[in-house]
Amino acid sequence: MTTWDGFQAFATTPVAAPPPPGTPRRSLEERLAYHSRFVTVRTPAIDALAKNVRTLMILGRHQTVTARPSLIVTGPAGAGKTTALLQVGRTCHLAHIRRHGAAAAAGQVPVAYVLVPPAASAKTLATEFARYLGIPVAAGMSQAQITNAVCHTYTAAKVQLVMIDEVHRLNPRTTTGAQSADLIKDLTERIGATFVYAGIDVTTTPLFTGVRGAQLAGRASLIDCAAFPARLGDEEPFRNLVKAMETALDLRHHRPGTLPQLVPYLHERTAGRIGSLARLIRQAAITALLDGTERITKATLDAIRLDHLAEQHYQPRTRPRSRTTSTL
């Protein structure tokens, strides 16, 4: 995914979808593969991000004097930040092809996706930008030389959207972190693209502190991928999410309505995080296919070991053992 060829393959591969009514039954192997990939449920965070990215890309299209406005996607681990980022990147890529045609778009790179390496220095981060487009980086090249090559190549390839993930790894309080933050600021001013960042609880990290943090906060809007609440006013967003995932299942004996009935349990089990919920349902579906039951029950869900964060949060309620007193 962190190379142009990988991202292009992701963006152009048809998304997973349940079989339309009346179509022949899929084989066991096909359904195992389907539940492994599974559907991406359209969430409010994805909708908000897509709308804001489109608006900012239009807003910054002819802006040449200063850096274009940017977006930061923040939230706890497992809240769907990377999924939202990649889905918006896919949409942007496909829209570019529809607008210009596959032949005309050949050689152009509308979207770039870069991961911030752990303890990133400015040079290692610049190298990640170079690696995405396959820009040769010799051992003796300086950071300035790599950055110049990146800016030239990204501009020539007409990159319109730059997505930087794991941005919480940057710590401007350290020397290397400050240099990396300065590099990103430099890139936003030299590459004519809209920049979108994603990271875990970004507002609580040092990224928003000091002079560099103030510059970032002054240019970036914030989209919060919070955990799904059980209730939000009169709405039940988590229940809607569970219903959408159950509708997408391809199990022959699963009883519709089973998972929505388990919403309180599912919310407590996953702390409302879409990543944990998707993993739980996918693993339960694969288990149901492998053991031949072809349905998900609470017993199936109870047997799944989830990520450590979810398991730490979940405290199953056990009925206290009744005490009896004996009389002589």
133-179 pLDDT, tens digit each: 999 999 899 999 999 999 999 999 999 999 999 999 988 888 898 89
What does the pLDDT read at residue 225?
Answer: 87
What does the pLDDT read at residue 326?
Answer: 42
pLDDT exceeds 50 at position 322: no
Residue 202: burial class (beta carbons within 10 Å; 0-12, 13-18, 19+): buried
What does the pLDDT read at residue 317?
Answer: 59
* Closest CA relative to residue 51, chosen from 246, 226, 196: 196
Residues 261, 239: Cα–Cα separation, whole Å? 9
The more confident residue out of 20 and 292 is: 292
Mean per-residue pLDDT over the chain, rounded: 87
Read off the pLDDT band of 328 (50, 70, 90).
very low
> What integer is the mean pLDDT of 250-269?
94
Q: What is the dihedral of CA 38, 39, 41, 45, to 10 degrees?
A: 80
Q: What is the pLDDT of residues 43-83, one digit of tens each?
A: 888 888 899 999 988 887 776 666 678 899 998 888 889 99
- The token pair that represents 105 in the structure block: 């778009």
3-class secondary structure, 16: coil
What does the pLDDT read at residue 309?
Answer: 64
* Closest CA relative to residue 49, chosen from 13, 73, 67, 26: 73
Dihedral sign computed on CA atoms, order 154, 155, 160, 164: positive
State the CB neighbour count (10 A cutoff) for residue 224.
16
What does the pLDDT read at residue 215?
Answer: 75
What does the pLDDT read at residue 249?
Answer: 95
The more confident residue out of 311 and 123 is: 123
> What integer is the mean pLDDT of 232-260?
93
% of the chain at pLDDT higher than 70? 91
What does the pLDDT read at residue 321?
Answer: 47
Residues 125, 116: Cα–Cα separation, whole Å? 6
pLDDT exceeds 90 at position 10: yes
**102-106, 174-178, 193-197 — which one is most confidently predicted on average?**
193-197
Phi, psi of 23 (to 5 degrees): -85, 155
